[in-house]
Structure 1
Amino acid sequence: MSSSTPEEVIVTASLTSDVARVARGMREALALVDEVLDLDHETWESTLHVGDIEFYTSKNGPYPNNQMRISVRPSMGVAALHYADHDDPEVSDAYSYTPNPSIERVHLIFSGETGRLFPRSAVISISHARAALVEWLRTRARPKCIEWRSE
């Protein structure tokens, strides 16, 4: 966990809409989470990086350790999350998890680059996804308000 306060949080996002955004402070970060959860992720996922600085992707870095990958289908009320933090001593890589996946087949994109989908068991409600993302922003750790599974 970082020693900074939630108001100092900086979130760098790469959205499914091919837009990059930076949110500074909790109010902007929460608005960004709501924006992501309103987007229909048909062909590409969104990624969020949380930290004390903005993160950029280049061959020279920096390479963020704390990332959340998100895919959402607002019309169906569902989302899926993937948490990655190589500094997490318990679980460095995990998917949101529901023990009883919906019978209805939902395709949520994990990687637009490869076409890989989230596992069906990763599909959760948008309200649970929002709660997990808010907790993640506040704690900068894997949210405990939802279940997770490593694969």
Structure 2
Amino acid sequence: MILTASLTTGVACATRGMRESARLADAILTLDHVNLETTLAIGDAEFHTTKDGPFPNHQLRISVRPSTGFAAINYMDHDDAQMPIANSYSSKRPLPEVDLIFNGTTGAVFPRTAAIRIENAREALHEWLQTRKRPTCIDWRPYDSY
């Protein structure tokens, strides 16, 4: 298993194996995503090694604000006919007063309903590493264009 990451810090990296990938996932949850999101792809090859690919069929995007205790996740899977693009979802109200970066290039932020506790995001990341599918331990809602 290889986890390819483009971090909020502007650094790209790849890890090999579950232990190394889990450590990276945990480290991502400590980064303050102020200007850029982190994108992750998992597979048997390192993604984006050349301009011609390989390219992932599914991707996880995450934004975290450790000082607030919240994160938001977007998951895209072209093989999922029911919900090919989804955001994490929390039904808890009131909604947290936190803007979590969806796309630093465009300035888009996640809807506040996508904000989940960091510990729930950690559980979701680790489940994704194990299954390579959209995690079932958190709730999801179909993606809305931003």
Fold shared per TM-score above 0.5: yes
| SS across alignment from 2:71 | strand
1:146 aligns with 2:138: yes
Q: Deviation string for 1:30-64 (max 9, x for gaps)?
A: 00001110100001000010111000165523221
Q: Structure 2 residue aligned with 1:52, among 44, 53, 58?
A: 44
Task: Give the aligned residue type for 2:30.
Answer: D
* 1-structure distance, mates of 2:40, 2:129: 10
* 1-structure distance, mates of 2:33, 2:133: 24
Structure 1 contact 49–64 (Cα < 8 Å) conserved: yes
Paired position in structure 2 for 1:80: 72
| SS across alignment from 1:76 | coil
TM-score under structure 2 normalisation? Answer: 0.93
Taking a change above 3 Å as real, the CA distance of residues 20 and 101 of structure 1, as seen in their structure-2 partners, is: farther
TM-score under structure 1 normalisation? Answer: 0.90
1:99 aligns with 2:91: yes
* 2-structure distance, mates of 1:23, 1:98: 30
Which is richer in helix?
Answer: 1
| SS across alignment from 2:8 | coil
* 2-structure distance, mates of 1:50, 1:23: 10
Query: Offset of 1:82 from its aligned partner?
Result: 0.3
* 1-structure distance, mates of 2:75, 2:24: 17
Taking a change above 3 Å as real, the CA distance of residues 10 and 88 of structure 1, as seen in their structure-2 partners, is: same
Q: Structure 2 residue aligned with 1:110, among 93, 98, 102?
A: 102
1:33 aligns with 2:30: no
Paired position in structure 1 for 2:58: 66
* 2-structure distance, mates of 1:96, 1:75: 19
Unaligned runs of 5+ in 1: 1-8
* 2-structure distance, mates of 1:51, 1:115: 29
Identity percentage of aligned residues: 55
Task: Give the aligned residue type for 1:39.
Answer: L
Structure 2 contact 77–85 (Cα < 8 Å) conserved: yes
Structure 2 contact 95–113 (Cα < 8 Å) conserved: no
| SS across alignment from 2:29 | helix
Q: Deviation string for 1:85-142 (max 9, x for gaps)?
A: 1012332110000012444410000000000000100000000000001001100111
Paired residues in the alignment total 143
